[in-house]
Structure 1
Amino acid sequence: MLDRIAESLFWIGRYTERAENHARLIDVYYHLREDEQGPDEQVWRRIVGAIGDISAYEEKHAAYGERDVIHFLTLDATQANSLVVCVAQARDNLRKIRDRLPSELWNLLNGFYLWLKSCDTAEVLGDSPHRFYQRIKEGLAAFQGTAVSIALRDDAYSMMESGRHLERSENIVRLLQSVLRYTAETGSSSYAYLMAVLKSVGGYEAFRRLGVEELSMEEVAAFLLAQEQFPRSVHYALASFSDHLKTLRAGASRSGSGLDRIVRTADKARSDLGWLERPDINADSLDAVLQQLLVTNRQLGEAMAKAFFSPGREVTA
C-alpha cells in the first residue's frame, strides 16, 4: 500500500470517529444545562474544554455563550477541531482515494458534508439542537455502517478501521479526563453528570445490565476503560486496533518490524487494562491511569506515521 493511500485511509477512520464523538458530547452536555446549579457560562466553558481548545476559543470570543460555543465547536471552518472541519478532512482524504473504497461511501460522506456545510448557527439553535446532532450521529453511523456492510475486508479496510479504533480509544480517555476535572471543580460527581457521560457514548443501558448498583465515578471509569464486551471501551478499542493491524502484518514488507512494535504496544496496553481489578481504579489512581493511556495512544499514532506514512508530513490533527 502506498504511503499516501495508507495515510488517507487512516485519517478517514480517525476524522469520522472524531466527528461522531463531538456530536455525542455536544448533544449531551447541551442538555446538562438543566441540571447545573451555576450559570450557563460554566457549562459552555466545560464543553469547549472537553472538545475544543480553550485558548483558541478565548482568542475569538470574550465570553462563553450558547451561540458562540455551538458555532465554534460545530460550524467554525477556521477551528481545526470543529465538527465541520473533521468531516471536511475525512471527505478530502476519501476524495483522494475514491478507487480504493466503495463508491457508496463517497456518496454518503460527500452528501453529508454538503448538508453540514450549508447549515448555520441560527438554524441549529432555532430548530432543535437535539435533532440537529441526532442527524449528525445518524449520518456518520450510516457511513460507518455502510463500510462494515459492503467494504472488502482488505488492507484498505483494516487501515481505515485501525484509525477509527485508535481515535475511539483516545476520545474515551479524554472524556474521562474531563470528568475528573469536573469533579475537582465541583467537589463531587453528580448522578446526572455521570449518567450523561454514559449516554454520550451510548453505554447507559449496557452499564445498567451489568448489575452495578452504584453510579459512581470509579464504576463509570472502570466500565469505559476495561469492559471487554462494550464496543466503546478503551479495552475493546485497543483490541480492535491491534486485530486490524495483525491483518496487515502478513503483507507488510519494509514496515514489518515497525508494525510488530505497534501491535506489541497496543497489546500491552490492552493487557494492562485486563489485569486491572476494580479496586485498582479509584480517585487516587485514575488520573495516572488516564495519563498513561493518553501517552500510549499518542505513541501509537506516531508509530503508525513512521511505519506507513510519508516522511516529513504532519502526523497529528
Structure 2
Amino acid sequence: MLSRVAERTYWAARYLERIENTVRLISVYDKLMSDLPTSVGIGWYNLITINSAEEAFDERYKVQDERNVIKFLLSEGNNPCSVVSNLKFARENLRTTRDVVPAQSWVMINELNMFVIENLQQGINRSQRFHFLNGIIKSCQQIQGLLMGTMPRDAVWSFMGLGRNIERADMTTRLLDAGVRAQLQVMDDAEAINSQQIIWGQVLRSLDADQSYRRTVRASVKSRLVARYIIEDTAFPRSITYCLAAVKGSLENLPHHKPVVSTVKKIQQARLSEIDYSDLGVPMKDFLNDMQLDIAEIHSSISKNWFTNQQG
C-alpha cells in the first residue's frame, strides 16, 4: 500500500471525526450556557483555549464573545480547526482516495458540505443552532456507518481506524476539559447548587454517553464517576481507554507496527495508571493536557513509520 494512500485515508478519518467532535464541543457549551444560572461566569473563549487556538483567534478577533467564537469554530476559513476547513480537508482526502473507499462516501461528504455552506448562519444564530449542529452530527455518523458497513478489513480500514480513534481520544480529553473548566468556574457561586450535576450531565450527553453511563455505573451523575467512566471504561467506544485499545488493535493489523505499538503500550501503562479522581480541578486539567501530548506522540510515531508528508 502506498504511503500517500495510507496517509490520506488516515487523515480523511481524522477530519471526519474532528468535524463531528468540534460540533459536539460547541453543543455542550451551548447547553451549559442555557442550563447554568446567569451568575455563573462561564465564557465562550474557553472553547478557544480548549482547542489551543488562542493565537489564531486573537489575530482575527478583538472581542471574545459568543458570536466570534462560534464563527471561528464553524466558518473561519483561516482556522484549520474550523468545521468548514476540516470539511475541505476531508473532501480532498476522500477525493484523492476514491479508488479505495466506498463511492457513496464521496457523495455523502459533498452533501454534508452543501448542508454546512447553505445553513452556516443557523449555527451562528443561537435560536437555530441545535438543528444545525445535530444535522452535522447525523451526517458524520451516516458516513461512518457507511464506511463501517461496506469497507473490507484491510490496510485501508486499519489506517482509517487509527485516524478515527486517535482523533476521538484527543477530542474526548477536550470535552472532559470543558467539564473541568466549567466546574472550576462554578465552585464559588452560591446560586449554582446543582451546577456540577448539570455540567457533568451535559458532558455525558455531548458524548452520547448518558444512557451507557447509567447502565454501567448505576449511580447518579457525579463528577468523579463521570470522569472515571469517560477515561477508563473498556466498553464505551468514546472513552480514552477504549480508543487507545482500538488504536493498538488497528496497528497490529499493519506491517512494521512494533515501534508504534510500543509507544501506545507505554502510554497505556504509565499515564492511565496515575489518575487522581479525588480532585477534578487543576490536577485533572494537567492530566488531560499530558494525555493530549501523549496522543500527539502516537500520531508522530505513526507518521514517521508510514507517512511521507505532514498534514494536521
Q: How far off its partner does 1:85 sit?
A: 0.9
Q: Secondary structure at the match of 2:279?
A: coil
- Give the 3 Å change call, closer, same or farther, for CA 126–291 of structure 1 in structure 2: closer
Q: Secondary structure at the match of 2:235?
A: coil
| Aligned position for 1:6 | 6
Amino acid at match of 1:80: P
- Give the 3 Å change call, closer, same or farther, for CA 46–290 of structure 1 in structure 2: closer
Q: How far off its partner does 1:54 sit?
A: 2.6
Give the TM-score of the pair, scaled to structure 1. 0.87
- Give the 3 Å change call, closer, same or farther, for CA 198–126 of structure 1 in structure 2: closer
Q: Deviations over 1:193-246 (max 9, x none)?
A: 111111111111111122443533221111111000111000110111111111
| Aligned position for 2:295 | 297
Structure 1 CA distance for aligned equivalents of residues 4 and 299 of structure 2: 16
| Aligned position for 2:211 | 205
Q: How far off its partner does 1:110 sit?
A: 1.9
| Aligned position for 2:306 | 308
Task: Please say if residues 162 and 245 of structure 1, whose CA atoms lie closer than 8 Å, have aligned partners that are also in contact.
Answer: yes
- Give the 3 Å change call, closer, same or farther, for CA 123–260 of structure 1 in structure 2: closer
Structure 2: gaps of 5 or more residues: 189-194
- Give the 3 Å change call, closer, same or farther, for CA 291–64 of structure 1 in structure 2: closer
Amino acid at match of 1:68: N
Q: How far off its partner does 1:95 sit?
A: 0.8
Amino acid at match of 1:232: R
Equivalent residue runs for 1:10-49 within 5 Å: 10-38=10-38, 42-49=42-49
Q: Secondary structure at the match of 1:43?
A: coil
| Aligned position for 2:92 | 92
Q: Secondary structure at the match of 2:44?
A: helix
| Aligned position for 1:159 | 159
| Aligned position for 1:195 | 201
Amino acid at match of 2:98: R
Residue 222 (1) aligns with residue 228 (2): yes
Q: Secondary structure at the match of 1:59?
A: helix
Q: Which 10-residue stretch deviates more, 96-105 or 120-129? A: 120-129
| Aligned position for 1:136 | 136
Q: Deviations over 1:252-287 (max 9, x none)?
A: 2xxx1xx212112223433457767xx843317534
Percent of residue pairs identical: 26
| Aligned position for 1:282 | 278
Equivalent residue runs for 1:234-245 within 5 Å: 234-245=240-251
Q: How far off its partner does 1:87 sit?
A: 1.5
Task: Please say if residues 155 and 253 of structure 2, whose CA atoms lie closer than 8 Å, have aligned partners that are also in contact.
Answer: yes
Amino acid at match of 2:310: E
Q: Secondary structure at the match of 2:125?
A: helix
Q: How far off its partner does 1:123 sit?
A: 6.7
Give the TM-score of the pair, scaled to structure 2. 0.88
Q: Secondary structure at the match of 2:99?
A: helix
Task: Please say if residues 271 and 291 of structure 2, whose CA atoms lie closer than 8 Å, have aligned partners that are also in contact.
Answer: no
Structure 2 CA distance for aligned equivalents of residues 15 and 3 of structure 1: 18
Task: Please say if residues 42 and 185 of structure 2, whose CA atoms lie closer than 8 Å, have aligned partners that are also in contact.
Answer: no
Structure 1 CA distance for aligned equivalents of residues 117 and 203 of structure 2: 28
| Aligned position for 1:266 | 264
Q: How far off its partner does 1:53 sit?
A: 1.5
Task: Please say if residues 40 and 65 of structure 1, whose CA atoms lie closer than 8 Å, have aligned partners that are also in contact.
Answer: no
- Give the 3 Å change call, closer, same or farther, for CA 67–39 of structure 1 in structure 2: farther
Q: How far off its partner does 1:108 sit?
A: 0.8
> Over aligned residue pairs, what C-alpha RMSD do you find?
2.4
Task: Please say if residues 74 and 82 of structure 2, whose CA atoms lie closer than 8 Å, have aligned partners that are also in contact.
Answer: yes
Amino acid at match of 2:133: Y
Q: How far off its partner does 1:292 sit?
A: 3.5
Structure 2 CA distance for aligned equivalents of residues 126 and 31 of structure 1: 11
Amino acid at match of 1:89: F
Amino acid at match of 1:296: D
